[in-house]
Structure formats: structure tokens, C-alpha cells
């Protein structure tokens, strides 16, 4: 079982990355193979609405000079996908939004190949906007017909300074619970 996490934070070692690592560590304890992808490390071009993905229908974006098609390939190979983002202004980060938009278009015009993959969302906020960003990520997964695992409380954690998310003990337990539920969902949907 393989689960890939896409980190939309510009800070490699920030709160979002730390929160994703809590999920990934728990997934590894449960026997999953994991990968943590830092999407800000790639300067992705925004979607230009060229409609090439609709014309081609092959699940690839025509823009080949960034890693978007590689990221899409990672999603297709994975059993589970997690998106993590800070909420700076009531939404997911701009770089993650580019990833979601371009993958969403290529997926929509190639038969929704992410359907029935297991998904999860993690958001870190300073004061507010985390729930809106969380809903944005979950809605994207649902629109792609993914099966989304939730948590109680939601995996929306506070964080402004280094390591702030760790102070939210219930939030950190929700991160671990998300991991365990994703493993359960993947094992359950695979069947014997």
C-alpha cells in the first residue's frame, strides 16, 4: 500500500510539513509505504485553459516543462493521496491550487482515473481560514470521486511559529487517526 502526501507549503520544515509528517509516520507504523512531495520546490505554470487535456484525453497536461505530469503519475500509482496546505488567506496555497487545477482538468477529461482512491486533507492556519481551505481540498477530492477520510476534530491545526501545531494535542491525535482510517479504508476497499 502506497500513500503520497502533497505539501503545498512554501516552508519545507514548517507546520504543514510537520503535521503531514505526523500522518506519514503513523502510516509507516501501519505498514504503508509513503512519500512526502514538496510542490513548492517546482515552479509550476498555472493552467492556461488551452483545452489540450480535453482534446487529447490521455490524462496528461500539455505543459511539459514542470513536474505536473510526474505528480499526476504519482497520484495514479498511489492507493491514497493526502493534500496538506497552510491557509494564509482563507484558501489553500497558490502553488497547491495550481496542482489541483491542472490535475483536476486532466483527470476530468480522461475518465476520472483518481476515482475510488482514498484521500485525506491537512490544513494549518494562523487565525482563520483553515476550514475553508480544508473544504476546498475535500471538495476537490470528492469532485474526482475519491473516497475521503475525515477525523474528529478535523485535521485543521493552528500554527504560526515553528512547531506550533504540536501544541494542539487533540489535533495531533486527529492526524494519527486520519492515518489509521486511511489504512483501514484502503485495506477494506481492496478486498481479500
110-140 residue pLDDT tens: 999 999 999 999 999 998 999 999 999 999 9
Closest CA to 14 of 125, 111, 153: 125
- The set of cell numbers assigned to 122 is 491537512
In tens, the pLDDT along 21-67 reads: 999 999 999 999 999 999 998 889 999 999 999 999 899 999 999 99
Grid look-up 500513500 returns 3
C-alpha cell at 52: 489540450
Contacts of 128 by beta carbon, 8 Å cutoff, 6+ apart = 87, 90
pLDDT score of 66:
93
Stretch 83-87: mean pLDDT: 97
Whole-number Å distance between alpha carbons of 106 and 22 = 30
- Distant-in-sequence, close-in-space partners of 147: CB < 8 Å, separation ≥ 6: 116, 117, 118, 119, 185, 189
Domains and CATH numbers, the chain: 2-190 (3.40.50.360)
Give the dihedral sign, CA 13/119/132/111: positive
Could you tell me if 124 and 86 are in contact, meaning their C-beta atoms sit under 8 angstroms apart? yes
Percent of the chain with pLDDT over 70: 99
**And the C-alpha cell for 68?**
505536473
pLDDT for the residue 137: 98
Say what the pTM is: 0.96
Q: What are phi and psi of 62, to 5 degrees?
A: -70, -20
CA dist., res. 190 & res. 1, Å (int): 10
Joined grid coordinates for residue 177: 487517526
User: Which 3 state secondary structure label does DSSP give 7?
Assistant: strand
Contact 183, 1 (CB under 8 A): yes
Q: Give residue-wise pLDDT tens across range 143-171.
A: 999 999 999 999 999 999 999 999 999 99
Amino acid at each position: 500500500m502506497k500513500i503520497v502526501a502533497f505539501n503545498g507549503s512554501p516552508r519545507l520544515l514548517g507546520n504543514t510539513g510537520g503535521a503531514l509528517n505526523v500522518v506519514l509516520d503513523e502510516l509507516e507504523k501501519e505498514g504503508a509505504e509513503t512519500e512526502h512531495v514538496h510542490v513548492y520546490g517546482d515552479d509550476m505554470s498555472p493552467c492556461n485553459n488551452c483545452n489540450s487535456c480535453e482534446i487529447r484525453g490521455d490524462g496528461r497536461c500539455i505543459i511539459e516543462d514542470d513536474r505536473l505530469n510526474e505528480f499526476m503519475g504519482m497520484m495514479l500509482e498511489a492507493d491514497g493521496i493526502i493534500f496538506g496546505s497552510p491557509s494564509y488567506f482563507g484558501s489553500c496555497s497558490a502553488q497547491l491550487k495550481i496542482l489541483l487545477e491542472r490535475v483536476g482538468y486532466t483527470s476530468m477529461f480522461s475518465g476520472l482515473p483518481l476515482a475510488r482512491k482514498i484521500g485525506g486533507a491537512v490544513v494549518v492556519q494562523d487565525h482563520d481560514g483553515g476550514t475553508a481551505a480544508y473544504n476546498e481540498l475535500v471538495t476537490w477530492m470528492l469532485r474526482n470521486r475519491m473516497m475521503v477520510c475525515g477525523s474528529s476534530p478535523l485535521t485543521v491545526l493552528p500554527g504560526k511559529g515553528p512547531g506550533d501545531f504540536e501544541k494542539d494535542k487533540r489535533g495531533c491525535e486527529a492526524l494519527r487517526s486520519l492515518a489509521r482510517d486511511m489504512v483501514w479504508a484502503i485495506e477494506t476497499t481492496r478486498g481479500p
